[in-house]
Every structure is written in C-alpha cells, then in structure tokens.
Structure 1
C-alpha cells in the first residue's frame, strides 16, 4: 500500500495588518465636476508614468524613480507625484507577479499534458509507479496535442516579456476595455461606456503621512467630517480655499470603525484616502485605510486554552462545531450556508456573510480561535487532472479552499500590501491547517 499523506502541523495566523472602511459621498454638481477634472488630470499622469515604467522594463532603480517623480511634480505637487509613482510601481509589480503565476501555471499544464500524451490511449493511471492515465481516444489525443502547442506558444511569449521586464496593463481594466466592442450585448450606449471608462481611469488616491494635519496633507478629512483636497498645480484656479485647496460641500461620516479612525486623525497619524466614482449607481465613495501596530502572535497552546471552533468548508456551506480544550465536540454542530453561483461580487458577499455569522457564533460561545482546514484543490480543479469528469471539477472549483475574500488595499505613508484574508481576524493560509484567533465580531 502507498504511504498515507500526512497533514502538516497547524499554525496560528497573525492578526490583520491594516483596516479599510468606506463611506458614501453625497457630492453636489460642482463637487462632482471638480473631482472629475482632478481625477482625469491625475489619471493621465498615472497613465503616462505607467507607460514610462513599462518601457524601462527591468532597468529600473531608485534614481529613475526619483526622476519620474520630479517630472510629475511640476504639473501636480510633490505629494501627488509620490502617490502616482508609488501606485504605478505597485501596478507594475502586481503585473509581474501575475506573469510569474501564469508561467508557473502554464509549465504545470504543459508537463501534465506531455505526460498524458506519452501514455498509450486508454491506459489507466498507476499511482505506485507514478504514471498518469492516457487519453480516451485518438480525437482527444489530437485535440490535446494542439492545446499543448498553443500553451507552449503562450509560455514562450510570456517568458520573452518576463526577460525584458515588459508588462501588459490596461488602466481602467481589460474587461471594461473589451466591453467597448460589445456595447449592444451589454445594453450600453457609447456615452455610458465612455463615462465608466473615464471613471475607472481616474486617479484620486493619496497616501497618509504621520505628523501632518489629520494624517493626510493631500486628501484631508477633519474630525467634523469636512473633506478637502489639495489641487494639482495645473488646476489651482478651481480652488475655493487658501493654499490651493478645494473644500467639498459634502460632509463625511464613517459608520464602521469611526472611533478608531477619529483617534488616528486627532493624533495626526497616517490615514490613506481614495475617492471613487461608481458610474452605474451614480455615487461617489471615500475609502479610508490605515495600518495597525504589529501584535505578537499567541502560542498555539494559549490559543487552544479556551476551546476552538472547527470549520469544514464545503461546496455550499460551512460546517461548524465547537470543541473544548481537549478537542472534544461541545453542543450541536451548526451549518452556515452560502451560494457561490453568479458573479464574483455575489460570491464574495455570500462568503463574507457566512464568515460574519461564523465570527458571531465564535464570540457568543466564548471560543478564542477558529480552526480552518486547508483543502488546496488547485491541481485537482484543472481539466487535466480529472479529464472529462466535469461534474467533479464543477464541484471542486468554486470551493473557497485557498483564500477568503480579500480586504481592500492597505495604505499608509509607506505601505505593505496586505495579505488576503478576513479583515476581522479569521484567515485562511495555503498548505496546512490554520488556527486563527477570533479578535472581532464584525467583518470589515
């Protein structure tokens, strides 16, 4: 008999590295016009800077970054230039990580197809000998050989881009760009699409800076809810306040984590802001984000001392059971259902709702941790692993087996990209069982 697979040792996940909250801005027509003008202007600067950094490829260093920032400072400001160059740098780095992930996926697919093509038609798998099964018939073998050639061409082109440091990024989103050629199917007019495209390419984001008034000199929100922005040098003629600032008529109020946000701005600690226009809804939103102090991770024994809530992640529900300090079930099991059909937003909302119920259940029963299994069906969800077994692939693919919905981008004056996970303390990592301390009863 083959050797049984051994589960990896459990570990405790650290708490969230930052917080992000959002509120609606009820702007006037004048405010909307100014925000659109400023966002479009800064968006054009971001597009030019992204094109420049893409042309530089891998030949980038600190002096080149400083030169790009100086080039943007004249028409905007030093802080706007810093925010723009940092955002484009993050976008370039994200595209590079996407390239690396795609190359790894392509190599895995190519290796699996080559292994199956080398086997006789209809041959069965032999796990002891490390042999995969062959394809069912000659027609499937021929189709897979053509797919192999296409994947190899994709990999060669991607490796060329990787070696040159060239990335392919669409500011505004590839999905929205492609929608321009299918307006009739989407039920959109050209003007409606143009408004969405313009809003998606706007740039209205500023990193926080500790020591400055209210924690942000560029986009400032006072404790009374007054919102103002520092206009770029080319648009200072629109200012309605001293020092080239524009004060919006709309007042701001954060409902979630308002006390934590107010404590930061009163102490002039860094808070990053982003203004976003949702064209389909006709709404403007303000997102505030900040980093949290690093909290030492508790030892595993201390986490388990008050019991744990064990979670089994399934296709359509979370199976939950409370365990005592010795691992014995207590009470009756619970079931938190969700529906993973529909759009990505709907799936994320369903998972967030289920996780919120899970956190409420955990706090209600006094447990200090949540134990989450890590299925990691990445290889199993592929078509080459289970071939024509579409039913099983369809069952496995939507399972939340790797990551729960991510929190928004976490920004400070100098930020680190937040890890994906539940913002309230329950996290899922890849590769082994997870113990996450339940530190809050609400999902951010």
Structure 2
C-alpha cells in the first residue's frame, strides 16, 4: 500500500454564484439588424484596439493605464460602453494567462514522461507506478527528437509568461485557422468572412445597481421592450429620446423569468449580451446577474439518509443508491447521452441526462456523490503513448461542463452535491463489488461497481466490503483470509490444510483430522440440530 497516493477527503460542492438566461429576439426588422451590426462592428473595433493596448502593457499595467484606456474609449463611444469594453479586455487577458500556465504545465508533464522513458532500456516493461522503455529503437529516436521540440516550446512559453506576453485572437483561433482550410470547414470565403465579422462584434453591457431596470446601456423593461444607448458616432440612428434605439422585438424569458422581473423592477444590476447566430440566422439576448452563494448543508447532514453514487463515463452516467451504511439499495440505473454532433446537441444531451438523474434523487430525498474529475494532466499523448483511442475517449468526456451543469441544476432543486477523490474508484469497485453484486438475473458492469465505490467513499466508509483485523491478530499470522467463502464454494467445510513451519500454536500431525466434525468435538447444540434428540432421565438422587 506504500505506492498509493494520499486520498483527499470528500467535501460538499458550493453552489453557483451567477445566473445566465437566454431568449430569442424575434420579429426584428431589417433596420434593427442593420443598426445592431453597425454598433457591434464599431464597438468590436474599439475592443480590438483596447485588447492590443492591454497586451502591450503586459505585467507593467496599472490603474493609471486602465483609466487612460477608458478615457480614449469614452471619446469614441460612451463611458458605459468604455467600462464594459475594458472589463471584457481584462477578463480575456486573464483567461489567456491561465491558459498559458496550463500549457506550461502540460509541456512539463510531457518532458518528464519522455525523459523517464528514454532513460530506461528499450523494450523494458513498465509498472503501475512508472512507464517502461520505448518498444523499438526507432520509437526511442523519434521521442528523443520530440523531447528537444518540447523543451524549445517550454522555453518559449516560459519567456512569454515572464514577460507578461499573451497571444489572443478576438473571434477565436479555430475560426482564424479555418480561413486556410475552407474546403475542410465546408465554407466559402464569403461565409467565412460573415462568421469572422460576427465573432468579433461587441454588444454587451455590464449591469448597474440602482439604475433604471438595472442597466442604462442595454435596457429591457418588464414588458419586454429592448433598447440600447448608441455610441456617439452612431447617435444619428436613434429613434428614441436621449440617443437610444428601440428594437421592434419584444422579449420574454421562459426560464427564470420571474426572478429576472423581480430584479429589474427593484433596479438591481442585470448584464446583457446580444449576439447573432449566423448558421440559424437568428439573434439572441442573454441576461446574467450574480447571486449569493447557495448555503450548503454540512457533510454529515448530506450523509444522514444515504446518497446516490454516480460514475461519469463517455456515453452514460452509472448511478446506484446507497443507504447510510454504504449498502447498495435497489437496482443500478444508467442515464445515457450521445456526445456526437454539434456543441449545442452535446450540451442538450448532457442536460437531459442530468435532469433525469436529479429528478430521481429528488424523489428519494438524497444527495448525489460524484468524482472530482480533472483530466487536464491525463490527455497528453506522452502519458498513454500509442493508446490513441483511449486518449480520444478521455478528451471527449465533458467533465468540466458536466460538473458545472450538475452543480447549477442541483442548486435549483435543492440537492446537495458531494465530491470525492476519483483515485482507484473503478479499480477497487470492480475488485470488491462487481462479482458479489452479480447474479443470474443481474449483470453488473465495472461502471455500476464504481458508482458503489464512489458512494461509499462519500459516506466515509472504506470501499472494500470487510475490513481485515490487524495483521498480528489473525489466526494464521499475516496470512489469514479477509473474505469469507461463498456458500457454494467446494471444500468450505473441509479441514484447513496443514502448513509446515513455525506456527503460533503447536499442533501435532493428525490432531486436526476432526476439526470440522462438530460431533467429534462434543460441541453443545450440534447433535440437537442434526440428529435425533432424546431427553436424558432425571437423576433420582436429587
């Protein structure tokens, strides 16, 4: 057991701190769409310039430079638009810095793995703790060249991070690179240009507490009227007083609409974003606001009546209910989803599987236990070598999105989420629970057994079904079995074979021949159970 890593303790996951809802802008006129595109293109240009200035400042950026950038943007738009642009720029720069750090850590992990495998003899088999050498001399040579390549990349990435230099593309790096592969992307040059311009537009405004309807820049009234404050160069397009443009569309929010209406009528801050879906030819409005963190229950309260252990897989969620003692109750359940197709389709599949799981847990009043998964360090090809299908399988699992969706949806239903360390749950679940739970009428998979292991770890119980006594308190000294024989096991009632050598108790040869014969040992109750019974006559001397 010395090679096992230390396991983290289970904990209750905190609820979401924000809310975002979206609705469609229907019945927009051609003039409305033209104004939205003009405003978005203008503000997108200003946002690109501001991002360039922020990236050029690097680590030397301070509050004075921030104020100067905002003054420049205010002259070409308005103070509120300038504030939204500068805030979005800082968020984008910070996100790029986090991605840069993750890239450096991935390079370091790959270099460490290659260095270790190059140091081992060619063809040496690996162990559970460390990989072995490469299979052939050709592979060894190719990996030695890749090692130099990764070291050069790491050196360049570290230099960029120390200098505060990041590389950001407004509109997306993937869309930018597809310009050179239009045939593979199934796009014409005009279609690509439309998507590129759409992705670089900027039409979002931060909420303002105490202002009318929670936002002065993009305003949505309680009866669904949408209007926006036009930037100074486009003020001549206004169709309402004070330089505002009112859209012909009327909106409503089917989801959380009552919460949104309560906020805007109380003049509490609500942020808005307008964007166009080129593929569908539709416009959408997204409203968002912050909420106080949901008060979580103590871990002991979540464990009080048992919980539901959930194992996350590439195509389904395996769930099993456990009582407070860690015993499986009922039958295992499986909630499938299909992760092929578009991103919207995959997201819908995940949400559909999660809502079925949460409704089932809600009916029984139970918490949900999940693994605290993070495959960022496991996706590198140096970790799994030639196992390309396994790498693709791990990369396709929506761990981050599934976790975020699960937490937010569970908070709405009042369900507690308990996160556990994912180490060894699949392995130990299959080892200790798959065979005992399998019967002639029920086929248990490794995923079902892993769900039991996850639930037991969340409840604070060990995964194995029976704890062994201390080694030197066992009858055979360090060699005693810890799992009882099943009823149908041959020889379970037979004599224990004699093991030569030093024993704790001295037993001569032949003395254990009748060890399993209860009658030969004159144990009370044995004959009464399996033979004819006759009461002895009462002693007359009493």
Return the TM-score normalized by structure 2.
Answer: 0.73
Q: Which residue matches 1:414?
A: none
Aligned-pair CA distance for 1:292 = 0.8
Aligned-pair CA distance for 1:9 = 1.2
In the alignment, the residues of structure 1 paired with residue 401 and residue 6 of structure 2 have an alpha-carbon distance, to the nearest angstrom, of: 22
Q: How does 1:424-439 map to 2 (within 5 A)?
A: 424-425=410-411
Q: Which residue matches 2:186?
A: 187
- Which secondary structure state, in structure 2, belongs to the residue aligned with residue 170 of structure 1? coil
1:308/1:370 contact within 8 Å kept: yes
Q: Which residue matches 1:170?
A: 169
Q: Kindly provide the CA deviation profile for residues 227-265 of structure 1, in whole angstroms up to 9, marking residues without a partner as x.
A: 000111111111111111111100011110101111111
In the alignment, the residues of structure 2 paired with residue 327 and residue 429 of structure 1 have an alpha-carbon distance, to the nearest angstrom, of: 16
In the alignment, the residues of structure 1 paired with residue 248 and residue 207 of structure 2 have an alpha-carbon distance, to the nearest angstrom, of: 22
Q: Which residue matches 2:25?
A: 25
In the alignment, the residues of structure 1 paired with residue 130 and residue 276 of structure 2 have an alpha-carbon distance, to the nearest angstrom, of: 54
Q: Which residue matches 1:370?
A: 368
Q: From the superposition, tell whether residues 3 and 115 of structure 1 become closer, same or farther in structure 2 (CA, over 3 Å).
A: closer
Aligned-pair CA distance for 1:375 = 4.7
2:17/2:294 contact within 8 Å kept: no
Q: Which residue matches 2:15?
A: 15
In the alignment, the residues of structure 2 paired with residue 326 and residue 212 of structure 1 have an alpha-carbon distance, to the nearest angstrom, of: 54
Q: Which residue matches 2:54?
A: 53
In the alignment, the residues of structure 2 paired with residue 402 and residue 240 of structure 1 have an alpha-carbon distance, to the nearest angstrom, of: 44
Tell me, which stretches of 5 or more residues in structure 1 are unaligned? Answer: 408-419, 437-444
In the alignment, the residues of structure 2 paired with residue 36 and residue 156 of structure 1 have an alpha-carbon distance, to the nearest angstrom, of: 42
Q: Kindly provide the CA deviation profile for residues 44-73 of structure 1, in whole angstroms up to 9, marking residues without a partner as x.
A: 000000001111111101111111001111
Q: How does 1:145-160 map to 2 (within 5 A)?
A: 145-160=144-159
Q: From the superposition, tell whether residues 3 and 186 of structure 1 become closer, same or farther in structure 2 (CA, over 3 Å).
A: closer
Q: Which residue matches 1:107?
A: 108
Q: How does 1:305-316 map to 2 (within 5 A)?
A: 305-316=304-315
Aligned-pair CA distance for 1:422 = 4.1
1:374/1:401 contact within 8 Å kept: no
In the alignment, the residues of structure 1 paired with residue 363 and residue 175 of structure 2 have an alpha-carbon distance, to the nearest angstrom, of: 44
In the alignment, the residues of structure 1 paired with residue 241 and residue 420 of structure 2 have an alpha-carbon distance, to the nearest angstrom, of: 52
1:421/1:428 contact within 8 Å kept: no
Aligned-pair CA distance for 1:339 = 2.2
Bigger RCO (CA 8 Å, 6+ sep): 1
- Which secondary structure state, in structure 1, belongs to the residue aligned with residue 21 of structure 2? strand
Q: Kindly provide the CA deviation profile for residues 161-196 of structure 1, in whole angstroms up to 9, marking residues without a partner as x.
A: 112111111111111111222223333222222111
Aligned-pair CA distance for 1:293 = 1.6
> 2:381 matched to 1:388?
no
- Larger mean CA deviation between 288-297 and 106-115 belongs to 288-297
1:376/1:430 contact within 8 Å kept: no
2:18/2:290 contact within 8 Å kept: yes
In the alignment, the residues of structure 2 paired with residue 122 and residue 13 of structure 1 have an alpha-carbon distance, to the nearest angstrom, of: 45
Return the TM-score normalized by structure 1.
Answer: 0.89
In the alignment, the residues of structure 2 paired with residue 78 and residue 279 of structure 1 have an alpha-carbon distance, to the nearest angstrom, of: 30
Q: How does 1:305-384 map to 2 (within 5 A)?
A: 305-367=304-366, 369-384=367-382
- Larger mean CA deviation between 189-198 and 426-435 belongs to 426-435
1:321/1:333 contact within 8 Å kept: yes
Q: From the superposition, tell whether residues 424 and 226 of structure 1 become closer, same or farther in structure 2 (CA, over 3 Å).
A: farther
- Larger mean CA deviation between 4-13 and 88-97 belongs to 4-13
In the alignment, the residues of structure 1 paired with residue 277 and residue 217 of structure 2 have an alpha-carbon distance, to the nearest angstrom, of: 22
Q: From the superposition, tell whether residues 266 and 315 of structure 1 become closer, same or farther in structure 2 (CA, over 3 Å).
A: same
Q: Which residue matches 1:441?
A: none
Q: How does 1:296-307 map to 2 (within 5 A)?
A: 296-307=295-306
- What RMSD in Å do the two structures reach over aligned CA positions? 2.4
Q: Which residue matches 2:123?
A: 122
- Which secondary structure state, in structure 1, belongs to the residue aligned with residue 61 of structure 2? coil
2:25/2:283 contact within 8 Å kept: yes
Q: Kindly provide the CA deviation profile for residues 182-213 of structure 1, in whole angstroms up to 9, marking residues without a partner as x.
A: 22333322222211111110000001011001
1:374/1:428 contact within 8 Å kept: no
Q: From the superposition, tell whether residues 46 and 161 of structure 1 become closer, same or farther in structure 2 (CA, over 3 Å).
A: same
2:369/2:418 contact within 8 Å kept: no
Aligned-pair CA distance for 1:378 = 4.3
Q: Which residue matches 1:399?
A: 397
Q: Kindly provide the CA deviation profile for residues 323-360 of structure 1, in whole angstroms up to 9, marking residues without a partner as x.
A: 23333333322110122334544433322221121111
